[in-house]
Chain A
């Protein structure tokens, strides 16, 4: 199987990763060989086989409405996990609005 440069660049766009020229040419060779490897599955008969949907067959893991949870973390601790926060305790992130397009 082969993967065109155009498809590869589209895939990188979908994955939100910029790939340098060297990586593009490397993946242009590697991804098709990995896809050929996993294509071995096509010959396995799977008619009427129910696909697995997760690591467990548990469904609807529910808890009682009245259960009270301890908070997962102190907001103060959470601030240390972020790159940046201001004196009011707000977490500062890069702007995501107001770009040119």
Chain B
């Protein structure tokens, strides 16, 4: 079995044909992890015994001739801010140690029902705050395409696991680009579904009005299979939508209206990425698509609005880590206030502290109207830009990131430089629409082919079309990795 050539759909077919067993499949991935993950560091925790035991259950089902569920025997990785019962959960932070999850997140329960085998928990920037995994309290993850570079973040471990053939697919979470940006940096497919499409129950909350869980996989078909397994209403998440989840259907590029936001090709975009994305758009046009430049007038303000709304919600959500409930607690202090402050000082890294401080500032008395309320109004305008755009086009396309994967340390000393990584992705979270990053080419640098991501944005709850369009674009672009 060559795991490099496997896909989710192909592996399920291989199990059905009895080319290999689920245990053999899981063992192949566990072997790859023990052989190569010391170099990549995509996993924080590998659940070997539990993975083998779930693979055995799948094999028993096959032996008994039971119908195979959609992800039967598929070895998957789960970002370590999503709860898997009985496994440790760190969220990339020291402050939760030694927490063991007491229940499954809804998405994990659904993966298990679909037959997936969970290999382990993947590395992330602390509390999903970052664009490189350099903010993980447990050390960074390397990019499998070039180990001197970051894999992106915050779902860098999940992206690296898929790109490095250390998992067949993975779950990540995306608050401002944390699935799409690492997918772009590592040359895999990653999708952030519509806000409310996938349950957040069992996801460690970062910014509750922006967070969504989504899949990362080697191709669009696999992404769709994982998405369909986890999507849909959940009684444990009141913000999850009751809208039915539609099956992606084949889409033709002939006559498809593609809008290209001119603001996504402005200053700060590496010209090589601009050329790569434009070359992809040209291919879609040749295949019959109608490509037209459009405008998202408030695109320039999205990052500023995001860096008010997100830290505000972070400061509220992270207030629960006080040393009393779970995880790390500092030694008893003289006053309860000292105990809280000392626990949070020693438990949190620099980036959560920075965002908690920023969030506390923008929510504090006298500044609320000028910052938070203003940002929520601008957020309405950003949302309207997308509503207007989707009156005239079916999907929007542009670069996922302004640059290719950067070397370690290149941006870690300047928070604003790191935040600018999210410039094309945050508006999607602020408005709630679904978006996917698809590898569309490479840029050569120091003898390496570094992936370039094409961001495809769909309308609210229109994942079926977004996935259909992405699939036909993928086939027009041909093999990239």
Which A positions have Cβ atoms within 8 angstroms of B? Answer: 8, 11-20, 23, 26-27, 30-31, 33-35, 37-42, 44, 46, 49-56, 58, 61, 63, 67, 69, 72-74, 77-78, 80-83, 93-96, 99-101
Contacts and interface: CB of A to CB of B under 8 A. Distances in A.
Given A18-B342, A46-B381, A81-B99, A33 B308 contact: no
Interface in B317-336: 319, 322-327, 329, 332, 334-336
Given A58-B241, A72-B103, A100-B335, A31 B361 contact: yes
Given A34-B354, A58-B196, 12 more contacts: A11-B364, A12-B341, A17-B345, A18-B345, A33-B416, A49-B378, A49-B380, A63-B235, A81-B101, A83-B327, A94-B323, A94-B324
Nearest to B307: A38
A92 B305 CA distance: 41
Nearest to A27: B357
A49 to B, nearest CB: 4
Interface string B337-375: 111111011001010011011101110100000110111
B353 A34 contact: no
Contacts of A101: 335
Q: Which of A20, A44, A55 has the most CB of B within 10 A?
A: A55
B254 interface: no
A46 B324 contact: no
- Nearest 7 interchain pairs by C-beta: A51-B376, A55-B209, A18-B341, A77-B102, A46-B377, A18-B345, A61-B238
B477 interface: no
Contact of B304 (A14, A15, A20, A37): A37
A99 B341 CA distance: 15
Contacts of A42: 370, 374
B208 interface: yes
Contact of A77 (B103, B308, B322): B103
Interface residues of B, number: 74
A32 to B, nearest CB: 10
A97 B403 CA distance: 53
A61 B103 CA distance: 24
B379 interface: yes
A100 B381 contact: no
Nearest to A63: B235
Interface string B90-111: 0000000011111100000000
A12 B241 contact: no
Contacts of B371: 38
A100 to B, nearest CB: 6
A20 B315 CA distance: 19
Interface in B355-412: 356-358, 360-362, 364, 370-371, 373-381, 383
B259 interface: no
B298 A94 contact: no
Contacts of A46: 374, 377-378, 381
Contacts, number: 172
B247 to A, nearest CB: 23
Contacts of A83: 98, 326-327, 329
A51 B380 contact: yes
A81 B344 contact: no
8 contacts: A11-B364, A17-B357, A30-B354, A31-B358, A34-B415, A52-B376, A54-B239, A63-B235
Task: Pick from A15, A50, A63, A74 the residue with the most CB of B within 10 Å.
Answer: A15
B375 A41 contact: yes
Nearest to B337: A16
Contact of A44 (B357, B361, B378, B383): B378
A17 B364 contact: no
B196 A56 contact: yes
B85 interface: yes
Contacts of B481: none
Contacts of B191: none
A29 to B, nearest CB: 11
Contact of A41 (B99, B301, B338, B430): B301
Contacts of B361: 11, 31, 35
B44 interface: no
B185 interface: no
A55 B208 contact: yes
A1 to B, nearest CB: 11
B214 interface: no
A100 B375 CA distance: 42
B344 A18 contact: yes
Contacts of B301: 40-41, 44
A54 B240 CA distance: 12
Contacts of A23: 350, 353
A81 B345 CA distance: 22
A17 B341 CA distance: 4
Contact of B307 (A34, A61, A94): A34
Contacts of A17: 341, 344-345, 348, 353, 356-357
A49 B350 CA distance: 35
B91 to A, nearest CB: 13
A33 B416 CA distance: 8
